[in-house]
Structure 1
Amino acid sequence: MCRLNSAYTEWGLTMNIDKTEYLVTNSDDKFDIFITDNAKLRQVESFKYLGTRITRKGLDKTEVSARIKQGRKIIGALNGIWWDKNIRPNTKVHIGRALVQSVVTYGCEVWTLKAEQKRALNALEMDYLRRSARVSKLDRVRNVEIRAKMDATQTIVDRVEQRGLMWFGHLLRMEHQRWPYRIYSWSSGKRKRGRPRRSWNEAIRRSMEDRNI
């Protein structure tokens, strides 16, 4: 950080100490970072980056829930479109992916989803697919039948996993001196006691196995 601050100074730039902070992930250790002998940066427990809440344990577990909540608001605002019989089903599917899923899955390439989060995401998608098919929950029509009717057999979770695989492939092809690859290659150190949290690499491995890659 001292070298970075010196480089800024050479170009006539100044680092704002009050607005510059750092986050340590996957560790409970605390240490100090100085940019000058007397200027210390503030360590935080979480921050929002490009609309995504990140904590020292990685992606905030409430982030996916917050995205789903945003998606439901959009679905409600477009209720008239979903139930409009004059709009073709495939058009409604495209609208759902463009206006609902784009908001919900922004930055999903680095997500590590739990089973309940996958169910919640698929339930969100089924919400607007049912409305688009003009089928209520009281009609007791199975989800698989609605997906077939709407030609939407690929689920939102399938697309999240697919985007994760695309990012993984991009990482492997990346020049090794680039920061994304260097961060991906860093060793996380010794594992602490207890059941390990499911890692992004493990999620990618399972996605590849599910697709026979």
Structure 2
Amino acid sequence: MVVSRKQIAPECNIFIGGTKLKQREQFKYLGTLISSDGRNKVEISSRIAQAKRSFQKMKVVLTNQCISIQTRQRALQCYIEPILMYGCEAWTISKQTQKNLEATEMWFIRRMLRTPWVAKKSNEKVLKEAHTKRSLLNKIRKRQATFFGHVMRKGKMEHIVTTGMMEGKRSRGRQREKMLDGLTKWLNAGRVTQALTAAMDRDVWKDMVANATKQGT
């Protein structure tokens, strides 16, 4: 695989024992789909689909009105959300991806309440009936921040990959948003450099993550 921003990826010829390896646009590594464009769109879409399939398998329990909504929400958090959030520590969440994740969260809640779309109830009203608030994106950001803090303080190869700079000129047009950019905004850390500095102090970073999590609920 060649990871590139170009619409047509450069061809890479690798031979082993005289046999040419087939170049792939995506492949699964440790349960995560890696794409040649370097984006997380395919992986996140795959995670959403897997979580919905798992929800359907547990539909008898999760939509059972004889079980309290609080208990069913706990079941959702234990069995469905881990499938959805697997590997989310490395996700770069764009505005469209954020909308998709928020829509998925409401998809779960509406089905647990057995609220049809034709009922034309707003998301706010559905959340009120479920006695809950949006929390999925907040959980993802918290996991990203916790993982990022470990990576920074460990100071190994992951640290170099995250903070390293590449030589050469930047491409024309708007630059892609990085995972660290979104995390810095969520933490209200000001600049990326301030977030990097704060991450080196475990106590300071822990307080920043706790405050951001509280504000995000």
Structure 2 residues without counterparts, runs of 5 or longer: 190-211
Is 1:180 the counterpart of 2:158? The answer is yes
Structure 2 counterpart of 1:189, which letter? E
Aligned equivalent of 1:10: none
Is 1:83 the counterpart of 2:83? The answer is no
Is 1:206 the counterpart of 2:185? The answer is yes
Confirm or deny: 8 A CA contact 2:3 2:38 kept in the other structure.
Answer: no
- Distance change >3 Å, CA 98–CA 122, structure 1 → 2: same
Q: TM-score, normalised by structure 2?
A: 0.71
Q: Which has the higher helix share?
A: 2
| C-alpha separation in 2, matches of 1:80 and 1:161 | 31
Aligned equivalent of 1:144: 124
| C-alpha separation in 2, matches of 1:39 and 1:205 | 48
Confirm or deny: 8 A CA contact 2:40 2:92 kept in the other structure.
Answer: no
Structure 2 counterpart of 1:150, which letter? A
Among 21, 30, 34, the residue aligned to 1:54: 34
Structure 2 counterpart of 1:74, which letter? S
Q: Which residues in structure 2 correspond to 1:50-199 (within 5 Å)?
A: 50-174=30-154, 176=155, 178-190=156-168, 191-199=170-178
Once the 2 structures are TM-superposed, how far is the Cα of residue 60 of structure 1 from its aligned partner? 4.2
Structure 1 residues without counterparts, runs of 5 or longer: 1-21
Once the 2 structures are TM-superposed, how far is the Cα of residue 152 of structure 1 from its aligned partner? 2.8
Once the 2 structures are TM-superposed, how far is the Cα of residue 30 of structure 1 from its aligned partner? 7.4
| C-alpha separation in 2, matches of 1:79 and 1:97 | 14
Structure 2 counterpart of 1:118, which letter? Q
- Distance change >3 Å, CA 154–CA 34, structure 1 → 2: same
Confirm or deny: 8 A CA contact 2:48 2:104 kept in the other structure.
Answer: yes
Confirm or deny: 8 A CA contact 1:23 1:46 kept in the other structure.
Answer: no
- Distance change >3 Å, CA 184–CA 40, structure 1 → 2: farther
Corresponding residue pairs, total = 187
Confirm or deny: 8 A CA contact 1:46 1:54 kept in the other structure.
Answer: yes
Once the 2 structures are TM-superposed, how far is the Cα of residue 182 of structure 1 from its aligned partner? 2.2
Q: CA RMSD in A?
A: 3.0
- Distance change >3 Å, CA 196–CA 78, structure 1 → 2: same
Indicate the percent of aligned positions where both proteins have the same amino acid: 25
Q: Which residues in structure 2 correspond to 1:2-13 (within 5 Å)?
A: none
Once the 2 structures are TM-superposed, how far is the Cα of residue 146 of structure 1 from its aligned partner? 2.5
Q: TM-score, normalised by structure 1?
A: 0.72
Aligned equivalent of 2:205: none
162-171 or 142-151, larger mean C-alpha shift: 142-151
| C-alpha separation in 1, matches of 2:172 and 2:157 | 29
Larger radius of gyration: 1
